């Protein structure tokens, strides 16, 4: 199961995708403020049309950011692994902060 956040940016998908590594790093920095997990070095991998988080903040490991759209409107989908045991609280706050900062960073970079 995944918790998915969708954001729209007035930019091309290529431009947004090119800035994802920096956006993810900034988002992990922001999410640590509301998480009880310790921050470590960024560990990401490129996936089709996006990036997967493999390390940096344990609560967000496995999160995927995918980019799609047209030159004038890009969709950014941030999917965070979610289980029945995840009832909210720090994980929900961290996921929300992470998704918001990814989208904001990507739109500023565009």
* pLDDT attached to residue 29: 96
The alpha carbon dihedral of 19, 22, 25, 26 has a sign of negative
Distance (Å, whole) CA 60 – CA 54: 8
What count of other Cβ atoms lies within 10 Å of the Cβ of residue 38?
8
Q: 79: domain range?
A: 2-109
* pLDDT attached to residue 109: 61
CATH code (residue 30)? 3.30.530
The total number of structural domains in the chain stands at 1
Q: Give the pLDDT mean for 67-93.
A: 91
* pLDDT attached to residue 106: 81
Q: Give the pLDDT mean for 32-40.
A: 92
């Amino acid at each position: 199961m995944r918790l998915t956040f969708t954001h729209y940016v007035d930019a091309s998908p290529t431009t947004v995708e090119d800035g994802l590594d920096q956006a993810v790093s900034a988002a992990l920095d922001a999410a640590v403020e509301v998480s009880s997990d310790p921050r470590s070095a960024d560990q990401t991998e490129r996936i089709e049309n996006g990036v997967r988080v493999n390390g940096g903040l344990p609560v967000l490991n496995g999160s995927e950011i995918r980019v799609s759209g047209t030159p004038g409107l890009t969709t950014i989908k941030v999917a965070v692994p979610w289980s029945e045991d995840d009832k909210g609280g720090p994980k929900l706050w961290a996921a929300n902060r992470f998704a918001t900062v990814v989208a904001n960073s990507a739109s500023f970079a565009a």
